[in-house]
Structure 1
Amino acid sequence: MMGWCEVGMMKVLVLSLVAGAVAAVRPSKLLPAAVPAVYVFGDSTLDVGNNNYLPGKDVPRADKPYYGIDLPGSGKPTGRFSNGYNTADFVAQALGFKKSPLAYLELKARKMLIPSAVTRGVSYASAGAGILDSTNAGNNIPLSQQVRLFESTKAEMEAAVGQRAVRKLLSASFFLVSAGSNDFFAFATAMAEQNRTATQADVTAFYGSLLSNYSATITELYKLGARKVGIVNVGPVGCVPRVRVLNATGACADGLNQLAGGFDGALRSAVAALAADQLPGLAYSVADSFGFTQASLADPLGLGFASADSACCGSGRLGAQGDCTPAATLCADRDRYVFWDSVHPSQRAAMLGAQAYYDGPAQYTSPVSFKQLARMRIG
């Protein structure tokens, strides 16, 4: 965890993002794309509709109002867990695209997979997915399966345009990965159900499983042709409204945040070791969602937010005692809320985060920014 002096310094840097964030991340006229395509892997912070196509009553879906109420051009739910665009959309916009590539399952249903895969990219992200296959098992596309779907997509791409063209395309494309929050929620829930506090042995084993699976994901993507990988680490999951509401004072769960912060440090080291020792030619950027979000929550008013602890769409205390549905209470000004629902950031919060990762203060990305990563010449 960061000390308050460090957070204070970060606040100053975060404030500098506000004035130019909209222009930088949502340009009025798209610039030439910095990469030929974007391939997206992860959870609900990036999902643009895959879960709408999954069967089962327990599958998390954002397919009803008020989801999508501020989505440019439609104002309708599309599967994004946001009032509008999400992080994947804003990263894709910064890279020169109109928005995130479409969801894999939507492209398959519309028989558009290969046209999109070779000209724009594909999103495999799935709400509820974890780094571990066991996280919310049966109700999402886990990270490992997302990679397998990309593998099958690649085979179809090669059949359509040839191996050489696909190899060149993938080596220059941007691979965006964000997962882990659901694993931490599941771990905390399991401890609570057992009515015990996690031991150091529990944490060590948990971290070991997460890092092993994450490393396998990066390695497999590399073997399949990825050379530019942008990773968004796990944010301060103890500060989402759904967790805050469990505390009588509405405070963040510091223990859960410390658990996430410890993993983020280990992840950064693990990816650096992979790039240095095992995956020659891999270029990467780790975005610090944890640090950026902490700084934002430390001074929400400075960023134009009126609420940093409550859901805009929900019900009950902190808007976190009910889901975002057509019957939920909806805040009047969505841009003034850090959180859209009890877990996910609002469109504006996602926009500010994406700008920080793409071309913001250097401390929010390591070893390079997403912009620098996209512009690297590989091979």
Structure 2
Amino acid sequence: MATKSQASIFMVFTATLLVAINGDPQVPCYFIFGDSLMDNGNNNHLHTNAKVNYEPYAQLLGFESFIQPFATARSDDIVKGVNYASGGAGIREESGQHLGERISFDNQIKNHRITILRLIFLVGRGSLVATKKYLHKCMYTVGMGNNDYINNYFAPEYYNTSSLYSPEEFALLLVEQYSQQLQALYAYGARKFGIFAAGYSGCTPGMMAIYGMNSCVDSVNSAIILFNTHLNTILNELNTKYPDAKFIYIDAPLQYPTDLNVTDKPCCEVESIDGKGNCSPDHIPCSNRQNYVFWDSFHPTERVSVIDGTQAYTTLSPLYASEAISSLVDNEEGHFSNA
């Protein structure tokens, strides 16, 4: 989403989707696309305010180590997956550009193509067909759209999209572009998709501060609900168009525990007095962080991240459950399965 934070709150879903369990990983490989909620190092050496240089949290899919960022992943890393996410990135190329350098979703897809060219020799034995068969078994999660609203549509001081498009028009425009991008990943071999809904940014402390409110900004949330509704529709259409693939829509939990009751302010002291931005350095955060929904002005706390990640893991069960069954069949028949 926004800018650099002074605590390890990033990697909300991607790491929580990885638990230490006995046995092999539930999928052979895992590819991650998204923004600062997913980024675990790709922005570290870019000229940007959106740094995400902290360790991710927990694990759930059985991998022995975290999926490495594209910026530093080595050959033995990419066989089990790559994280392409970039803080500040969006579906649209210009989203987040006022923050500095970032890797848009289009460019994350280009980086994935580079990975595939390397995988041809690592797992495909020189064969693109065999490599795509390997990729068919991998899980792909994508979390995009947050910055297209926070750092584009609802940032009129930097972007003119809100004057060019109504919320409905912008949502349709975004989802159409998103659909083309997901289909590009399909063409490269992806078959198991988990697509995160955009967050209700109107309920972030940062957006409340921008609008001078102490409760959720309905106009912001209404626009994002339009996007999520159209996104769900387009994923259903893609499931029909590509019966050999599965596109799963991942929404946020309907409610959190009642003791998660601090929703209108961040746990840490933020960089600007009006509540925008992220944690200021060298300041002690709140002592009861377990009660806070947001760590800084836009990003959730670890507790919320674990709750959201656990629900995402459950929602995605058709992807890794079907992979476990197909792996048994492949091994029984002597087919190419894991590299």
Which of the five TM-score ranges fits, normalised by the shorter chain?
0.7 to 0.9
What residue in structure 2 maps to residue 182 of structure 1? 147
What residue in structure 1 maps to residue 78 of structure 2? 117
Secondary structure at the residue paired with 1:39?
strand
In 1, the alpha carbon distance for the partners of 2:274 and 2:287 equals 13
What is the identity, as a one-letter code, of the residue corresponding to 1:153? T
Say which of 283, 298, 310 aligns to 2:246. 283
* Cα RMSD for the two superposed structures: 2.8
State whether residues 42 and 85 of structure 2, in contact with CA within 8 Å, keep that contact through their aligned partners in structure 1. yes
State whether residues 309 and 318 of structure 1, in contact with CA within 8 Å, keep that contact through their aligned partners in structure 2. no
Bigger helix fraction: 1
CA deviation profile, 1:160-191 (whole Å, cap 9, x unmatched): 33234422321111001001010011101128
- Tell me the TM-score normalized by structure 2: 0.81
What is the identity, as a one-letter code, of the residue corresponding to 2:132? R
What residue in structure 1 maps to residue 293 of structure 2? 338
Say which of 173, 195, 198 aligns to 1:209. 173
Q: In the TM superposition, what are the counterparts of 1:34-183 in structure 2 within 5 Å? A: 34-54=26-46, 56=47, 58-63=48-53, 77-78=54-55, 85=57, 90=58, 93-98=59-64, 100-107=66-73, 112=74, 114-118=75-79, 120-137=80-97, 139-162=101-124, 163=127, 164-183=129-148
What is the identity, as a one-letter code, of the residue corresponding to 1:134? E
In 2, the alpha carbon distance for the partners of 1:143 and 1:337 equals 30
Shift of 1:192: 9.1
State whether residues 39 and 52 of structure 2, in contact with CA within 8 Å, keep that contact through their aligned partners in structure 1. no
CA deviation profile, 1:16-43 (whole Å, cap 9, x unmatched): xxxxxxxx97856455311001000010
Q: Does 2:310 correspond to 1:350?
A: no
State whether residues 41 and 146 of structure 1, in contact with CA within 8 Å, keep that contact through their aligned partners in structure 2. yes
Say which of 229, 247, 256 aligns to 2:193. 229
Do the aligned partners of residues 141 and 30 (structure 1) sit closer, same or farther apart at CA in structure 2, a change above 3 Å counting?
A: farther
State whether residues 194 and 248 of structure 2, in contact with CA within 8 Å, keep that contact through their aligned partners in structure 1. yes
Say which of 252, 263, 277 aligns to 2:227. 263
Say which of 275, 278, 282 aligns to 1:320. 275
What residue in structure 2 maps to residue 245 of structure 1? 209
State whether residues 319 and 342 of structure 1, in contact with CA within 8 Å, keep that contact through their aligned partners in structure 2. no
What is the identity, as a one-letter code, of the residue corresponding to 2:33? F
In 2, the alpha carbon distance for the partners of 1:284 and 1:240 equals 28
State whether residues 322 and 328 of structure 1, in contact with CA within 8 Å, keep that contact through their aligned partners in structure 2. no
Say which of 309, 317, 335 aligns to 1:371. 317
What residue in structure 1 maps to residue 6 of structure 2? none
Secondary structure at the residue paired with 2:290?
helix
State whether residues 260 and 292 of structure 2, in contact with CA within 8 Å, keep that contact through their aligned partners in structure 1. yes
Do the aligned partners of residues 150 and 198 (structure 1) sit closer, same or farther apart at CA in structure 2, a change above 3 Å counting?
A: same
Decide which moves more: 45-54 or 162-171: 162-171
What is the identity, as a one-letter code, of the residue corresponding to 1:370? L
Secondary structure at the residue paired with 1:344?
coil
Shift of 1:310: 1.6
Do the aligned partners of residues 247 and 188 (structure 1) sit closer, same or farther apart at CA in structure 2, a change above 3 Å counting?
A: closer
State whether residues 245 and 318 of structure 1, in contact with CA within 8 Å, keep that contact through their aligned partners in structure 2. no
Shift of 1:353: 0.5
State whether residues 181 and 235 of structure 1, in contact with CA within 8 Å, keep that contact through their aligned partners in structure 2. yes
Secondary structure at the residue paired with 2:156?
helix
Secondary structure at the residue paired with 2:293?
strand
Shift of 1:215: 0.6
Shift of 1:202: 2.4
Secondary structure at the residue paired with 1:311?
coil
State whether residues 100 and 123 of structure 1, in contact with CA within 8 Å, keep that contact through their aligned partners in structure 2. no
- Tell me the TM-score normalized by structure 1: 0.73
In 2, the alpha carbon distance for the partners of 1:283 and 1:26 equals 20
Shift of 1:247: 4.1
What is the identity, as a one-letter code, of the residue corresponding to 1:287? I
CA deviation profile, 1:105-141 (whole Å, cap 9, x unmatched): 022xxxx1x21111x2100000000011111235200
What is the identity, as a one-letter code, of the residue corresponding to 1:132? R
In 1, the alpha carbon distance for the partners of 2:143 and 2:94 equals 17
In 1, the alpha carbon distance for the partners of 2:65 and 2:263 equals 26
In 1, the alpha carbon distance for the partners of 2:196 and 2:120 equals 29
Residue correspondences, number: 304
CA deviation profile, 1:144-170 (whole Å, cap 9, x unmatched): 110111011101110233234422321
Secondary structure at the residue paired with 2:215?
coil
In 2, the alpha carbon distance for the partners of 1:38 and 1:26 equals 9
In 1, the alpha carbon distance for the partners of 2:66 and 2:274 equals 28
Decide which moves more: 243-252 or 230-239: 243-252
